[in-house]
Structure 1
């Protein structure tokens, strides 16, 4: 790649950011449902999409958040990503792969393959719109709310690297497909998640700070690393109407008369002097990793407001006599001014290393194991049973055997889903203010 191409790519990314979305808030203006809350307690959530979904990154981030961080916890979650798929491709397998799950809420992320990796043309848009309409109508008829997601984005440097402006051209096409998905959702009275604009915006900011080589949409230009997938998960959470309030702990210092209260999901066990012991059922979203690596979601946090908008576990302290205080939470300590503590400190943002990390990791591991099984079940076992049905002459014995195996496959998915729920246990933690 010539040196002159790098500035051109940066200009393309910044231009797309300006055109696609003036900011995170404006990108989410279109994410509201027609009426009432989208995410309800006991929902059966299916996360649907192409190979980007099958990477099991944004789907995992999304599921872990729904399991551990919100009050409106789902009854079950299913990941249905399929590499190379288009919206029409999913319509063709909904009967086998989605409807037996009896979903009440479905998120979709199609368009990357539908766009053909070339400049937008009306036949491409018409085909995509028709397929999305069929998908939404079929899911709606089955009793599900569909959060229609736009396609994501391609990396402004790494997508077909060495071909000037091609990323700009395809991102423009993906933006148009996103507009079509929004139109389908609006017409059906369904929520829309703009995945594209936040990715473009975060990518422009991150590359400006960390360099053009920093990939947000993957080294292949299409499949994001954990950094880009966190942006995608956040877009769906916003579309679901998640408020981001993990909880608030309010402390009034007064020596032996110290008092502390907490919002639902958290219970104060003991408040004595500057020591507050709490038991929490709701977790903050936890992060570990390199602050500059695209393979770490931590690296993208400075460039979009996940912590501020979706991960607020706030400590408010009144009655502090000194101008500042040291707050210790788990193994880490930080100093804050009296004004900061009175206004409220976001513990989730200030303490990446915190007492929830170990419990959070167990939930994440259980979700990963379940989603790995779901891919094998859908792309291997269920497809194999379809092949067996076609290969064997139709008869009662064959049908009964296939029905039994199908039930066993779904029963195993339900067992793994229950195992995820069981990993979310209350966490006891202590804050020391001195």
Structure 2
């Protein structure tokens, strides 16, 4: 325990230094095509989906498009290999690249006498590959670049899975050259590894089994992905921007303040208040379903360890001048809850209540999850091509012969077998076009559903 207490301040100091010196990431603008390129953590599609969900609910008039360009198992060299045919083919205006988890290797650390050699080789190979990526990105002046460290490998959680001691130190060296390159090129930079490790260390002082990754110490669960999205949005400078703010003085029948919303037709007295309310954004919804294979975490679990609600999800209604003990708040005739005059004067966060606008946000979240599930089929298709068919000299060969080859080897290759069904579904051009249309239709539906609407709010004395 004493060792842990010594480590935590050091991590926090390192984190503060990295954040202070990092190049900030500009908020996305309407029309941006944002591509996230990485390994299996990116392929899972969650952190980028949460980021897009924030933009869907917070900026309904500034439509963007987010693409998953992750492939499980990738190192920097493999990302470079598919840069033209997969990543840049999506025509990004913003490209975010992350790697390091696989580059730093795994079972090689079990040979204790060769750890230093393994580290030197891993870092050298990753750096050489990244320099190829760096050179290619320099030749794309119209694309905004963001370099992101890997999420952490958790060596310290007391869980059953084996630990590759020394892997974190290798990842530190990879993160160092990632940061240096981003600063040199004036690109955006985000340090997930140190930020998330600081949370792991802090929480492990209370519960030694806590981790933002999962049973394998590698892949974040839904909570870990949400923390990744939180730090990304925070680096964009979006913390502290409210969903909406309304402040009313009922005694004077006066609107004191509004932010990101419109209030009209206020009628207020000592026992009753009513007005029309049009917020220009929706609250961020909560997801209670585990979304990562063999990982129990849920997105809502992350709210216990990051101040997301305080920093990103405030839809505060304040009503002064009501002195009663109990008032019922209703929106569009639907009861939301009861509060005292003192509680209303202090302000209540509607984003945490079961309001009509939150229900719309939940519907948008479900639509976004459906879109993500469809997109995952495309990522499986690309996984099969780059991780298997390319070796067979059949890259982007979608013939029956390619299908038969996949089926043949899938009987013995468990990873390939997991991807085979999606590959068969997506391999034909007509099917890909149909799936893409489904995704486009879902996004169209989201950007219709997320548009500002007027609500009628009443407060009635009980």
- TM-score when normalising by structure 2: 0.74
**Whole-Å Cα distance in 2 between the matches of residues 172 and 368 of structure 1?**
35
SS of alignment partner, residue 77 of structure 1:
strand
| 1:120-269 paired onto structure 2 within 5 Å | 121-142=119-140, 143-156=142-155, 161=160, 166=163, 169-209=166-206, 211-255=207-251, 257-259=253-255, 261-264=257-260, 266-269=261-264
**Whole-Å Cα distance in 2 between the matches of residues 15 and 167 of structure 1?**
22
- TM-score when normalising by structure 1: 0.78
Are the equivalent residues in 2 in contact too, given 1:104–1:144 (CA < 8 A)? yes
* CA distances 1:4-63 after superposition (whole Å, capped 9, x unpaired): xxx59xx55x555433333976653344338xx342222111122211122222122111
1:105 corresponding residue in structure 2: 94
Choose the corresponding residue for 1:312, options 311, 314, 317: 314
| 1:59-78 paired onto structure 2 within 5 Å | 59-70=48-59, 73-78=62-67
**Whole-Å Cα distance in 2 between the matches of residues 261 and 17 of structure 1?**
41
**Whole-Å Cα distance in 1 between the matches of residues 240 and 280 of structure 2?**
15
Are the equivalent residues in 2 in contact too, given 1:45–1:104 (CA < 8 A)? yes
Deviates most, 378-387 or 121-130: 378-387
TM-superposed deviation, 1:149: 0.8
Bigger-Rg structure (1/2): 2
2:419 corresponding residue in structure 1: none
**Whole-Å Cα distance in 2 between the matches of residues 133 and 423 of structure 1?**
43
Gaps of 5+ in 2: 110-114, 290-294, 390-394, 403-426
Are the equivalent residues in 2 in contact too, given 1:158–1:220 (CA < 8 A)? no
2:415 corresponding residue in structure 1: none
**Whole-Å Cα distance in 2 between the matches of residues 361 and 280 of structure 1?**
16
Are the equivalent residues in 1 in contact too, given 2:157–2:208 (CA < 8 A)? no
SS of alignment partner, residue 132 of structure 1:
helix
For residues 140 and 70 of structure 1, do their structure 2 counterparts lie closer, same or farther at Cα, with a shift above 3 Å needed?
A: farther
SS of alignment partner, residue 249 of structure 1:
strand
Are the equivalent residues in 2 in contact too, given 1:288–1:352 (CA < 8 A)? no
Are the equivalent residues in 1 in contact too, given 2:24–2:189 (CA < 8 A)? yes
1:422 corresponding residue in structure 2: 448
TM-superposed deviation, 1:127: 2.4
Are the equivalent residues in 1 in contact too, given 2:322–2:341 (CA < 8 A)? no
Deviates most, 416-425 or 140-149: 416-425
Are the equivalent residues in 1 in contact too, given 2:8–2:202 (CA < 8 A)? no
For residues 175 and 238 of structure 1, do their structure 2 counterparts lie closer, same or farther at Cα, with a shift above 3 Å needed?
A: farther
Are the equivalent residues in 1 in contact too, given 2:41–2:220 (CA < 8 A)? yes
Would you say 1:40 and 2:29 are equivalent positions? Answer: yes
TM-superposed deviation, 1:321: 5.6
1:302 corresponding residue in structure 2: 304
1:282 corresponding residue in structure 2: 281
For residues 27 and 234 of structure 1, do their structure 2 counterparts lie closer, same or farther at Cα, with a shift above 3 Å needed?
A: farther
SS of alignment partner, residue 28 of structure 1:
helix
For residues 286 and 415 of structure 1, do their structure 2 counterparts lie closer, same or farther at Cα, with a shift above 3 Å needed?
A: closer
**Whole-Å Cα distance in 2 between the matches of residues 323 and 24 of structure 1?**
47
